[in-house]
Every structure is written in structure tokens, then in C-alpha cells.
Amino acid sequence: MDRLLVLVRHGQSEWNLKNLFTGWRDVGLTEKGVAEAHAAGLALKAAGLSFDVAYTSVLSRAEETCRIMLQELGQADLPTIRDAALNERDYGELTGLNKDDARARFGEEQVHIWRRSFDVPPPGGESLKDTAARTLPYFHKEILPRVKAGERVLVAAHGNSLRSIIMDLEELSGEEIVARELATGSPIIYRLDAEGRIAEKRDLAA
């Protein structure tokens, strides 16, 4: 029984590079992001891993990262399930703004609160708490049962949807999870016990 769950934040996107709030806006990977996705797939292959199913958001930067990783794993035809529940946090009125411009417009302290508080959403957008309220029911209904049943599951998604899952798995507080940085294109490998608790964790970025 493998009970393997691998979480990967998508490779660098065009708007990551430009320091823009991206959220639900559908932007592609940069050349670096494509390279990060290839490297992630090769790292998983070198670790001797393969998968029974993959999950990703409906945003192309995550879908493309997933596709490239599976290609490197020799599993290009693996069943892949796409769902908006795994989408990035919606940044509302901040979407498309340069982070420095947002600080100039709203004030550095306010932008810091929107970015790094657990439960304060930007105007028209989602807090991390809101994102978790969307992501975790899907995780518990669709993904975790398959892992607990012994399947090997790959999830390619986004910084904040993955933070929601990590918060749940690692039993972290809201304050603890907002401080967790997730590198782009860097797999985090979990092996779970029959109850869905972490038996082993390995971060390939570490």
C-alpha cells in the first residue's frame, strides 16, 4: 500500500516573473517555468515514483506543469482530473496589479495584511481561509480517499490551494501556514497511513 501523495506548485508563470497578482487569471509558464516542470518530473522519476492518477486545476499554468511532469515520468496518458476547486486564490481587485503598484495604491501595511493574513480577503477576492473552504472539501471527498485506499496521487496546483491542503495534512494553524513558502516546480512527497495521517514527508526542494 503506497498511499503516496505528491504536491507540486506550478512552474514560474509569466505573471510570477512580472511580480503581478495572478489569481484566477489564466497565464502561461515562462521558459524557466517549463524548465522547472521538466526538472520536477525528472526528480520524481529519479526518486522511483509513478502514479495512478493526477489532479490539477483548470488553469493552464498548473495543467501544463502536470502534463510536462507526466511526460518526463513516461506517463503521458495517465488519467488526469481537472477541477476549479484546486484553482489559485482569487485576488479580486488586486488581480493584474504589480505588487509594488498595489503597495503604492493601498499602502504597504494593507497589502501585507491581504497577502499574509489567514482570513482577511482583498476587495472582491478570497482570503486563504476562503480558499481552504473551497479546496479542502474537494480534497477530502475526491483525493484523500484514493490516497488512503493505496493509490499514488499527483496534484499539480497553486501556492494557496496547496497551502490549504498542507495546512490540513500537517495540522498547522492559519498563522503557521501563511508563513510557509512553496517553491515553484518543487515536489513535496507525502506517504500517509491508513487514517490519512503523515507517515513520511520529503521535500525535494530541501
- List, as one string, the DSSP characters of 59-82: SHHHHHHHHHHHHHTT-TTS-EEE
CA–CA distance, 89 with 25 (Å, rounded to integer): 10
Identity at 93, one-letter amino acid code: E
Domains in the chain: ranges and CATH:
4-14+29-91+128-203 (3.40.50.1240)
Ramachandran area for residue 124 (φ above 0: left; ψ -120 to 50: alpha; else beta): left
Give me the phi and psi of 44, to 5 degrees please: -65, -40
Please give the distance of CA 39 from its chain centroid, rounded to a whole number.
17
Grid cell for residue 41: 518530473
pLDDT of the residue at 154: 98
pTM for this model (two decimals): 0.95
Q: How many CB atoms lie within 10 A of CB 127?
A: 20
Ramachandran area for residue 186 (φ above 0: left; ψ -120 to 50: alpha; else beta): beta
Q: Could you list the active site residues? A: 10, 88
The tens digit of pLDDT for each residue in 140-162 reads: 999 999 999 999 999 999 999 99
pLDDT of the residue at 204: 83
Grid cell for residue 154: 499527483
pLDDT of the residue at 206: 54
Positions in the chain whose pLDDT score sits under 70: 206
pLDDT of the residue at 107: 95
Measured between alpha carbons, how far is residue 38 from residues 51, 54, 64, 150, 178 in Å?
A: 16, 16, 10, 26, 28
Contact (Cβ atoms closer than 8 angstroms) between residue 15 and residue 198: no
Identity at 57, one-letter amino acid code: S
3-state secondary structure of 126: coil
